[in-house]
Structure 1
């Protein structure tokens, strides 16, 4: 397997592991199947699931074997099957994992992938999840407006391996930096396992307008945490506002709390423990404003929180991840001192670095003693340090020199 393919495999496996914990599907509330030629045995919407495919040995539907994927009828007419997926956010695609798990005698033998980018979402009639049906003439006519036959090709027609445990993952690296909003999956006549995180053109936009440097829409990600009992920290850097408590990060109740709680002279709880999460910024930069939203968390929000940042080289971050951030890091510097939080409320707080001096790459959110929140926004300005970074390894978000500090 080529080195780039090995890197892609490692990246996608990490994404899948986090997705299983979080239900992360790139703002899956907005990602949707716009069209599929056929959904006879199993609907194309199964392609949008983030968890590993399941197999129910003895379960059948009235149409045939129950399968946790997209499965069309056996082709008996000219042409091939295909579907169109609208991504929840525009983003660069780093690669694909064509997962044919459990399709051992009926997998798609060949596949190709085309992509397009629409600044404004095309108006396509809402599609319902269904089985035992094929696309209607009206649906074919509506999707033809997108001219998907002419879209750019990221993966040419390529053979797939059957869904045996040793061969079910088919990895295809992509080396394009362009952003895409729509995917057309062609099967001849399978299964596709999700697009990549969002990415932003940092040279565009108003340089005086602060940006959310941690949002997953631009490529931010959680790279470490202490507890994810009720929800993963990746949720709190998601796109848009939270829809319910499940869209946030919530930890279990700590068992080391004192039997009777007391405050210090500043009104902060005196407790021995805390929970934390570390986020890699989408782009190194200076944080000027911090937003913490505890919406929906009415009796289970943290009592207080603080935010710290530092600058790490790629190798230093990898070392910290391997050690689960259990290394003494003298580089952490405060962005937000210990601050009391109110339940079910959006807090807008100034960072301690308004003079635009300290660039950071990861940020660490610490909550005391435990609890949950719905969103974290770290707004500020990207540093020019990374506008000239090498692009030969597209999987790397940034690379910096040890000890580097840059004034914008």
Structure 2
């Protein structure tokens, strides 16, 4: 048996599942190659929705399954596939889901990764419809140019464990801080996997950005992340800095109705609802910078959008962020600088505002989005210009490497 590195470890209740699924088809993930797709194609691995089971449905090749399932191998070797990540960056963990594959799941897996430059990626044949087929010699020849056998192991060969039929997850933590663009999922020797989730944070090459064009500094695809919040009834706040437009309310962040809201509601002279409480989320920017434009989208939230919101920013080092997380983000008032004053919001509508930093030219690292009194938001975009200044203390490393700590469970 091969000697595999001992990096991947199984954990029970992972915080990394609150991060973006970097391989999902919804963010541009793509299956480049699979050795075999006889019963069900590898494209099912990266579907955004949860797997389903159709008890009495069959295809001409066998039982219909919502996952990737290879034929029972009768030749030497094992099956594997390669996925190009839609969001490229730092991988924090995997979910290898074998739901509904009760008697046909792959008994063992390993996962490798590579960081491939765009101009060095070979031409890979389009896959098309794959059910009932296996990779051709031409496809094997093309994919061999990637030399995926030599990619870095993030999860060594590990046995998979069955859980509940409809919820059979195998979680693996990853400690690597390297940027990855592709992964290779190996199954030993054959079988089925329902879904493969690759959780992590995006990492953008800011040196390639046009200095004249404003960028979304909080985008999760570039490395932005929620590092604390007050409430999340439906959907994690990370959803609102996700890729593209929200597909539904489930793709946004919605809080519970506050129980301290007044029995009879009233407005102030500006039409803002008078309410004591509020809900909030703090985000670390993907890169320190000056925010010039704010976009807040309440699409899909037609009867449950916030009445109003505001946005504040501050500058924190990585050490200070850790302290604030332990203190539940009770930050001194003077630290927060207003980026958007209290502003009325409308249901199911996209709102655009100029940030106050347009005049102040303040560089910030973190923002606090506050909604009043409660409700749901689908997207938050903070466009501006990245700054090259160093914000860490002299004794620390002279660069900002931001990442979501697995320990931010205390904020969940």
In the aligned structure 2, how far is the partner of 1:350 from the partner of 1:176? 35
1:280-319 alignment runs, 5 A limit: 280-319=284-323
For structure 1, the 5+ residue unaligned runs are 399-408
Does 1:111 pair with 2:115?
no
Provide the rounded CA distance (Å) in 2 between the counterparts of 1:156 and 1:171. Answer: 9
Tell me how many residue pairs correspond in the alignment.
Answer: 379
Structure 1 position 36 matched with structure 2 position 34 = yes
Give the drift of 1:390. Answer: 3.8
Alignment check: 8 A CA contact 2:10 2:172 kept: no
Q: Are residue 150 (structure 1) and residue 147 (structure 2) matched?
A: yes
Structure 1 segment 330-341 matched on structure 2, within 5 A: 330-341=334-345
Change over 3 Å in CA distance of 1:45–1:60 after alignment to 2: farther
Instruction: Give me the whole-angstrom Cα distance separating, in 2, the residues matched to 1:5 and 1:329.
Output: 42
1:245-268 Cα distance to aligned partner (Å, 9 max, x none): 322222222232222221112221
The equivalent residue for 1:402 is: none
Q: What is the aligned counterpart of 1:88 among 86, 89, 95?
A: 86
Q: CA RMSD in A?
A: 4.3
Residue in 1 that maps onto 2:215: 211
Q: Is the 8 A contact 1:231 1:250 kept in 2?
A: yes
Alignment of 1:341-356 (within 5 A): 341-355=345-359
Name the structure where strand makes up a greater proportion of residues. Answer: 2
- Contact 2:285–2:365, Cα closer than 8 Å, also in 1: yes
Could you say if the C-alpha distance between residues 173 and 257 of structure 1 is closer, same or farther in structure 2, counting changes exceeding 3 Å? closer
Partner of 1:225 in structure 2?
229
8 Å Cα contact 1:148/1:184 also seen in 2: no
* SS of equivalent residue, structure 2 residue 16: helix
Return the offset for 1:307. 0.2
User: Residues 4-403 of structure 1: matches in 2 within 5 Å?
Assistant: 13-16=14-17, 18=18, 24=21, 28-29=25-26, 30-39=28-37, 44=42, 47-48=45-46, 72-89=70-87, 91-94=88-91, 97=94, 111=110, 113-115=112-114, 116-118=116-118, 125=126, 133-135=132-134, 137=136, 141=138, 145-147=142-144, 149-151=146-148, 153-155=151-153, 158-161=156-159, 163=161, 171=173, 173-177=175-179, 180=181, 182-189=182-189, 193-326=197-330, 328=332, 330-355=334-359, 357-386=361-390, 390=397, 396=403
Q: Kindly state the Cα deviation for residue 172 of structure 1 after the two structures are TM-superposed.
A: 5.0
Query: Cα distance, 1:292 vs. partner?
Result: 0.9
After superposition, the Cα gap between the structure-2 partners of 1:396 and 1:303, relative to the gap in structure 1 and judged at 3 Å, is closer
User: 2 CA distance for matches of 1:391 and 1:148?
Assistant: 37
Offset at residue 282 of structure 1 (A)? 0.6
Task: Give the Cα–Cα distance (whole angstroms) in 2 for the partners of residues 362 and 157 of structure 1.
Answer: 33
Q: Can you list the C-alpha shifts for 1:175-208, whole angstroms capped at 9, x where unaligned?
A: 534x52x333234428754153211112222222
Tell me, what secondary structure is at the counterpart of 1:317?
helix
2 CA distance for matches of 1:393 and 1:380? 18
Contact 1:25-1:48 at 8 Å conserved across structures: no
- Give 1:216 deviation, angstroms: 0.5
From the superposition, tell whether residues 331 and 157 of structure 1 become closer, same or farther in structure 2 (CA, over 3 Å): closer
For 2:261 and 2:325, the matched residues in 1 are separated by 28
Quote the Cα distance in structure 2 between the aligned partners of 1:359 and 1:238. Answer: 23
Q: The residue matched to 2:309 in structure 1 has which SS?
A: strand
Identify if the C-alpha distance between structure 1 residues 95 and 297 changes in structure 2 by more than 3 Å, giving closer, same or farther: closer
8 Å CA contact 2:22, 2:85 repeated in 1: no
Paired residue secondary structure (1:206)? coil
Q: Secondary structure at the match of 1:203?
A: helix
How far apart are 1:325 and its partner, in Å? 2.3
CA contact (8 A) 1:160 1:170 kept: no
Closer/same/farther in 2, CA of residues 361 and 45 from structure 1, 3 Å limit: same
Q: Indicate the residue corresponding to 1:405 in structure 2.
A: none
Give the conservation status (yes or no) of the 8 Å contact 2:31–2:84: yes
Which has the larger displacement, 64-73 or 237-246?
A: 64-73
Change (3 A) 1:100 1:156: same
Contact 1:224/1:279 (8 A) holds in 2: yes
Q: Equivalents in 1 of 2:174, 2:255: separation in Å?
A: 36
Secondary structure of 2:321's partner? helix
TM-score (ref. length: structure 2): 0.74
Q: Please say if residues 320 and 327 of structure 1, whose CA atoms lie closer than 8 Å, have aligned partners that are also in contact.
A: yes
